[in-house]
Amino acid sequence: MQRTIVQEKPAVYFSSVYGSTRVYAEALATALGRRIVDITDGVPAGEVWNEEAVPLIFVGPVYGVKLLGSEYAAQAARKVDTTSAGQDVAFVTVGLTDPEKAAAKDSSAKFFGEEKDRIRRFYVPGRLHYPDLRLVHRTAIKGMLLYYSTKPGTSAFEKELVASGGVGFDKVDTEKIRPVVWWAQAR
Ligand SMILES: Cc1cc2nc3c(=O)[nH]c(=O)nc-3n(C[C@H](O)[C@H](O)[C@H](O)COP(=O)(O)O)c2cc1C
């Protein structure tokens, strides 16, 4: 009997707690003709990260001292880019830090350890709807807003965040993923 091996089309891997990162993953998948794979609770069995699967794309939100999914992107980079800093893996960080400032500081670099030079990083703005937040998250966000409201040199983006008061903030804009699409298409 002859067996046919069906190769899955490439994926966009994402982690998300409240759904905003999923929106970006879906937009990327649509633009690039990929599937989306939710890795919030781990990478499903059967996902293969090798040279044939590149460029690999990960999308994940920042939660304080964590960048969800960053450990998997580092793992993938170790697998597909063993010899040089070829940057066959991209990580799109979703957050409420002003994305221009985050990009200028490259604030996600620290989450990738030794693999940081193998990963191409992008930054896009996220979303928070305060009434939906778990209590522990709401408390943490209050601290973040307090910090932004008192620190000198607050950006327009940060002022908007503070002004969002008790409702929340929605900066999700799928147009912002264009540079990621161009990067992937050029590989
Ligand atoms: C408890 C908490 C901590 C956060 N910490 C950060 C942070 O340190 N930096 C940042 O840019 N955004 C931070 N954010 C914002 C999230 O990254 C943003 O809301 C994102 O869109 C959430 O993604 P999700 O909807 O896919 O879960 C935080 C949000 C919460 C609720």
**Test site for ligand 1: of 128, 162, 171, most ligand atoms within 8 A of the Cβ:** 128
Answer yes or no: is the C-beta of 137 below 6 A from any ligand 1 atom.
yes
**Test site for ligand 1: of 63, 68, 135, most ligand atoms within 8 A of the Cβ:** 63
| Across 133-147, average pLDDT | 89
CA distance 2 to 164: 61
CA distance 176 to 47: 27
73-130 pLDDT per residue, tens: 999 999 887 655 568 999 999 998 889 999 999 999 999 999 999 999 999 999 999 8
161-185 pLDDT per residue, tens: 888 877 888 999 999 999 999 999 9
Q: Which ligand 1 atom is at minimum distance from the Cα of 61?
A: 17
The average confidence (pLDDT) of the chain is 90
CA distance 116 to 36: 23
Q: How far does the centroid of ligand 1 lie from the alpha carbon of residue 10, in Å?
A: 27
Q: How far does the centroid of ligand 1 lie from the alpha carbon of residue 42, in Å?
A: 19
CA distance 144 to 154: 13
Q: Which residues contact 182 (CB under 8 A, 6 or more apart)?
A: none
CA distance 142 to 59: 25
Is the pLDDT score of 145 beyond 90? no
Report the length, in residues, of the chain: 187
CB under 8 A, 24+ apart: contacts of 147-156: 155/98, 155/101
Q: Nearest C-alpha to atom 4 of ligand 1 is from which residue?
A: 63
Q: How far does the centroid of ligand 1 lie from the alpha carbon of residue 167, in Å?
A: 15
